[in-house]
Each structure stands twice: as structure tokens, then as C-alpha cells.
Structure 1
């Protein structure tokens, strides 16, 4: 991003912050609170849903476990804690779509349609 465009965006943000009475300290406090909340997160799915592992599991965790997914799959630091010999992923040998068109469709086929 070039310097003029950056300065223009910063000036716009400062005007909008002044318009709504937002101080730079408010933004810093909000960012710090978000970072603290994210550090407490232990599990995250591909959609960005999170859970700290405390209390009742949220619906997305319940659904994923019911569908056969392991909780370790969603662990944020799980990649370093996993036993390389333990298979925690999907069992593709029982994939009902294996060998069908659904398993072999390519993005080029979709864009051509």
C-alpha cells in the first residue's frame, strides 16, 4: 500500500473515531481484551467458532463429535501434542463417495459448467 493511501485511511479512521467519541486508548483496550480471550481458546473449527474447553461444549463441538470427529482435531495447539502413530482424522477407507464422481470432481470441472 502506498504512503498516500495509508495516510488517507488513517485520517478517515481518526475522523470516524472522533465522530463516535472513540479514543485510541479504547481501541488498545479492546485489542488487548480480544488477545486475552483468544489466548484462553483451546479449540477452534474451520468456521472460526471457538471454545475454551470449560463448561458445556457448544453446539458445533457436539455436532462434530456426533459426526465422528475427535476433539483433538480442533485443538489449537493439538498439532504438537498429537501422537504421530495415533490416527485422529477421518477414516477414508470407509468413505461412501470413494471412487465416485463426487470424490473426483475438480475445480476446473465446476468453473466450466
Structure 2
């Protein structure tokens, strides 16, 4: 047990409550100070960029680009990632008896 733990262990309930109140005040003060320092650092980073902190906060994260997994051999511009609703062109091919795997794009071409 550390020296600090030993000192705390020896305190009365009243002393522990007083210590808890002091700690809560110190935590709030330290939190405000750290937030202010972070804000200063952010403002320094933004500098004269013309971008505001609010714009950064409201910006959407860039979406991950998902490569297509399937391609229509008759029209290579028609592709499907395998996510979401299957496209009409692929539904028609499968309805006519073709297999989904026939339209897979080889991994080295994805």
C-alpha cells in the first residue's frame, strides 16, 4: 500500500467527505484549464486557414470507398459492391439461371 493510500485509509468519514469535495472542485478547475489549453492549441492549428472550429465539428468523416465486387460483362460500367440491394441488371441475370459467382471481379482487378 502506498503512503498516500495509507494516509487516506486513516482519515475519518468526515475528513474523507471533505477531501472528496476538494477533489471534485480541483477536477472541475483542471478540466476547464485543459479545455482552454486545447482550444488555444486548436486555434493555433487553424491559424489563418479560413476554417472554423465549428466547421470541423460539423464536418462529416470521409466515407470509406468500397470497391465493386461484381461486374456486368456486357456493360463493364455496371458494378455492384455486394452491399445494399442487388442491382436490376444482376437480378435479371440470376433470374435467367446464371450464378452470382459468374460476375465476381477477380481480386487483382478490384
Q: Same fold (TM over 0.5)?
A: no
Range of TM-score over shorter length: 0.3 to 0.5
Higher relative contact order, structure no. (Cα contacts within 8 Å, ≥ 6 residues apart): 2
Of the two, which has the highest radius of gyration? 2
TM-score normalized with structure 1 length: 0.34
More strand by share: 2
TM-score normalized with structure 2 length: 0.35
